[in-house]
Structure 1
Amino acid sequence: MPTLTVVVPTYRRLGYLTEALASVRAQTLTDIEVLVCDNAADPATRRLVTELGDPRVVYVPRPRDLGLARNALLGLASAASPLVTKLDDDDAMEPRTLALLAAAFARHPRIDVAFGRLRLVDHDGNDLAARTSALDRHSGRALMPEGLVHGLDAVIGSGAMNLACAVFRREILDDPVPDAVSTAYDLHLLLRLAARGAPGWYAPGAVTRYRLHPDSDTNTGAVRQGLGALAAYDLAEREARHDLRRRPDLLATARTHVAVRTARGLIRAGETGRARQVLLQDLRHHPTAAAARLTLGTFAPSSLAARVSRARGAAWERREAAHDLTDA
């Protein structure tokens, strides 16, 4: 049995995928399994994997398009090892990533997850140092020491832990992931990890080169992903894993941030009524002035609401751009 399984969900991205797989094969931890889960069953992707000639890298074609989330989740659930990680086909790992994170589990058997930092890069792989620094400051990672992290709710709420730079126990996938969380399944799994109550381990070094580009899922499906994230928060609360009403902490603040951003997207798409529903539900969880103002705006005619949302949201979005990941 390999020490760790790397799941690489992919869909017709040969150029990025070539770099992603090269970074996995260059890992200093060599006792690994790599599942390339091809949601397109693309002959060119099959050929790329076959020509690598690496028995650790397994091509897993999907007979039909399962969607981004289901493709990744099936890959993670089918891992042969007790530890898993996901590498999106447009990202890449630093050479010591897997050795660094897997070693934490050997030293601390009680942990459920080990994670590190993201290094943001552009379409061509060039460092986005200013954005990385801003993200580290905003999330609190800039001040986090190496070691055990208790109370994972806080690091999830602040954005300090991301599934893109984490190794976790495969057993958290034993329960099905609801379709409602859609492409926000990563948040759902993080909330599930936090609810188990075990500590995590943080390694302050950058472990993943995280690519920001126009074709990312968050850019092309921001509203869908936002609605999925809200479903993940609500599901966690219904299952009594987290209580966002009685304890309005960083998780509740993060939920409101997602609700406002998603509502703005819905308003721009002309779905003012649906935006109002999103905002009203969030106000019941965590009343804020930003959500209240935007809710009032939804009672204006759709065209006027869209113009007001754009005008008021421009400054807000510029302020938040440095803090948000725009890829998923």
Structure 2
Amino acid sequence: MPKITIAIPTYNRAKLLTEAIESVLVQTYEDFELLISDNASTDETKNVVVSFKNPRIRYHRNKKNIGMMNNWNKCVTLSEGKYLVILGDDDKLYPNFLEKSLKAHRDHPSIGFSFAHCNKVDPKGNYLTRWGYKFTPSGYLNLFEYLQFTIKYGSCLTNSSTVLINKKVFSKVGLFETPYGTNTFDFNMWIKIALKYPVCFIDEVLCDYRIHKEQVSEMHWRRKEMPTGKIGTYLEILGAIAALSDKKEFENKEKKKFLTKRLFDINRELSALLRQVIPEL
């Protein structure tokens, strides 16, 4: 049984999928399986996967398209490793990604997941900028620290392609779900895990995150007239504040004051975004 499963959920991305697979197969840490979960693609996806002829690759094809989130959950249930990476089919890991990420788990055995920096690149792989604008401190982060910075900055601080998850967490937090927004189910998972486990931030760039017109983020984050990405993010953070409010860690007066202030700030910002979408509100 492999130590790590790298899963690539994919749909009609045959051309970009090749680069994602290649980035996995050159990892310096080699005890892994590569699981491709094909969401009933109609392009050359299967042929691309089969062309690699690598025994570590396992190909699964859904009989019908089950949606993006359900395909991610399929990756969880089909994976055989102790640890799991869900890599975007349009992203690329750096060769030392697994080595660095697994070290974080070995150094901090209690963490639920590790995550790292990544760079934004254009469709041809040219560097654009660093993903994200504000980050947590480097290293081990307890429950309060990770969620404190998430709430403070009002954003998701974790790019999913940089995450290595200890699969034991799913028995406690369940699978990916959409209680607040369909476009923030990954952010919802990082919050759920961080409510029960410490995490670890690796302060290095270990992945390329590709920006292009066909990605889901184009619809949710790059349409000024319809800011569904930010709305979903704020809804997730309000849920995190609610979950934190009755925990022991927040009996401290200063921590409660921090949460209360951010609750009002985020509620006000969220109201402005909703009025942008629904002027009559």
TM-score interval w.r.t. the shorter chain? 0.7 to 0.9
Aligned partner of 1:153: which letter?
L
Q: Which has the higher helix share?
A: 1
Q: Which residue of 1 aligns with 2:251?
A: none
Aligned partner of 2:109: which letter?
P
The secondary structure found in structure 2 opposite 1:53 is coil
Deviations 1:239-273 (A, max 9, x none): x3567997147688667666655653x2xxxx434
Q: Confirm or deny: 8 A CA contact 1:117 1:206 kept in the other structure.
A: yes
Gaps of 5+ in 2: 222-226, 247-254
Separation (CA, whole Å) in 2 of partners of 1:53 and 1:68: 26
Normalised TM-score (structure 2) = 0.80
Does residue 24 in structure 1 map to residue 28 in structure 2?
Answer: no
Does residue 169 in structure 1 map to residue 173 in structure 2?
Answer: no
Q: Confirm or deny: 8 A CA contact 1:9 1:39 kept in the other structure.
A: yes
Cα deviation for residue 231 of structure 1 reads 4.9
Q: Confirm or deny: 8 A CA contact 1:13 1:90 kept in the other structure.
A: yes
Cα deviation for residue 167 of structure 1 reads 0.7
The secondary structure found in structure 1 opposite 2:45 is helix
The secondary structure found in structure 2 opposite 1:16 is helix
Q: Confirm or deny: 8 A CA contact 2:177 2:188 kept in the other structure.
A: no
Separation (CA, whole Å) in 2 of partners of 1:220 and 1:139: 23
Q: Which residue of 2 aligns with 1:14?
A: 14
Q: Confirm or deny: 8 A CA contact 1:2 1:32 kept in the other structure.
A: yes
Q: Give the superposed CA RMSD.
A: 2.9
Q: Which residue of 2 aligns with 1:202?
A: 201
Separation (CA, whole Å) in 2 of partners of 1:106 and 1:255: 39
Normalised TM-score (structure 1) = 0.69
Aligned partner of 1:217: which letter?
V
Aligned partner of 2:141: which letter?
V
Pairing 1:1-328 to 2, within 5 Å after superposition: 1-42=1-42, 44-128=44-128, 131-132=129-130, 138-140=133-135, 144-145=137-138, 147-150=139-142, 151-157=145-151, 158=153, 159-174=156-171, 175-180=174-179, 181-196=181-196, 198-222=197-221, 225-226=229-230, 228-233=232-237, 235-236=239-240, 240-241=243-244, 247-248=259-260, 260-261=272-273, 264=276, 266=277, 271-273=278-280, 276=281
Q: Measured at CA, do residues 120 and 242 of structure 1 come closer, stay the same or move farther in structure 2, by a change above 3 Å? A: farther
The secondary structure found in structure 1 opposite 2:111 is coil
Deviations 1:30-84 (A, max 9, x none): 1112111111244621111111111211111111111111111221233212211
Separation (CA, whole Å) in 2 of partners of 1:93 and 1:183: 23
Q: Measured at CA, do residues 256 and 49 of structure 1 come closer, stay the same or move farther in structure 2, by a change above 3 Å? A: farther
Q: Confirm or deny: 8 A CA contact 1:68 1:183 kept in the other structure.
A: no
Aligned partner of 1:48: which letter?
V
Gaps of 5+ in 1: 277-328
Q: Confirm or deny: 8 A CA contact 1:153 1:250 kept in the other structure.
A: no
Identity, % of aligned pairs? 22
Cα deviation for residue 10 of structure 1 reads 0.9
The structure, 1 or 2, with the larger RCO (C-alpha pairs under 8 Å, 6+ apart) is 2
Separation (CA, whole Å) in 2 of partners of 1:14 and 1:250: 43
Q: Measured at CA, do residues 99 and 46 of structure 1 come closer, stay the same or move farther in structure 2, by a change above 3 Å? A: same
